[in-house]
Chain A
Amino acid sequence: KAGVTQTPRYLIKTRGQQVTLSCSPISGHRSVSWYQQTPGQGLQFLFEYFSETQRNKGNFPGRFSGRQFSNSRSEMNVSTLELGDSALYLCASSLAGTRTGELFFGEGSRLTVL
């Protein structure tokens, strides 16, 4: 069974540009959530999608957005990049509707903003 796949794995952008990151969940998983990981700040929740609908959103500015497609694949977009957006962006999928709902993480997309 394939795990969570994120693309691209690494990317370098300059301030003001925008970026789109992609996440393919484990087959059968309908819930996808995104996290930003930076040194010292841990894993900060960005948003969660289920059945193409955003179910929860973290405390990030509107420059951060996402969507989910009918096949459960998800994308997140960051517009007008700032230096502080440099981070590892992790996507996680889970079986929605279960009480525990273990999150299975991808390897992440490492974004560097120059």
Chain B
Amino acid sequence: GENVEQHPSTLSVQEGDSAVIKCTYSDSASNYFPWYKQELGKRPQLIIDIRSNVGEKKDQRIAVTLNKTAKHFSLHITETQPEDSAVYFCAARNYQAGTALIFGKGTTLSVSS
């Protein structure tokens, strides 16, 4: 089955810096890669996603890149703000097999002002 590895497990940056979180997946049939943000004590929420037919997607300060050959995808946050502090999870899915997601173990991002 699918396995998703995520690095780093913790990341500390200064406000205004950029943050990058990287994930690799094992199943070449996976074709959908979302990123979820979970603030302390709250439920995970989707922040951005990318499908396998796209190499990059941006939404304001957030971008995701996908390298299908290397089975690697990354989340990039620019101009970080204290409210970006949270746990970020990458995930992968083969949407032809269902809606279940296989998640990485998460990255705790801390943005200090």
* 22 A–B contacts, CB within 8 A, in A order: A33-B100, A42-B89, A43-B44, A43-B89, A48-B99, A48-B100, A55-B98, A55-B100, A56-B98, A58-B100, A90-B43, A94-B99, A99-B32, A99-B51, A100-B32, A100-B51, A101-B99, A103-B101, A105-B44, A106-B43, A107-B42, A107-B43
Count, chain B residues at interface, CB 8 A: 26
Q: For window 1-55 of chain B, which residues contact chain A by CB distance below 8 Å?
A: 1, 6, 32, 34, 36, 42-46, 49, 51
Chain B residues with CB under 8 A of A31:
98-99
Q: How many Å from the CB of A98 to the closest CB on chain B?
A: 8
Q: Does B103 contact A (CB under 8 A)?
A: yes
User: In the complex the two chains form, is B99's CB within 8 Å of A103's CB?
Assistant: yes
Chain A residues lying within 8 Å of B42, measured Cβ to Cβ, are 107
B100 close to A99 (CB less than 8 A): no
State whether A45 and B100 are in contact (beta carbons under 8 Å apart), knowing that A102-B49, A103-B46, A108-B43 are contacts in the complex: yes
The contact size tier of chain A is: 20 to 34
How many angstroms between the C-alpha atoms of A86 and B112 in the bound complex? 32
Question: What's the nearest-Cβ distance from chain A to residue B81, in Å?
Answer: 23
Closest residue of chain B to A47 (Cβ to Cβ) is B100
Asked if A89 is an interface residue, CB under 8 A from chain B, the answer is no
Decide if B105 touches A42 in the complex (CB within 8 Å). yes
CA distance A113 to B104 in the complex (A): 25
Mask for A51-70, Cβ within 8 A of B = 1, else 0?
Answer: 00001101100000000000
The residue on A at minimum CB distance from B2 is A45
* Contact in complex: B44, A102 (CB < 8 Å): no
Pick the residue among A43, A45, A102 that contacts B46 (CB under 8 A): A102
- Cα A105 to Cα B101 with chains together (Å): 12
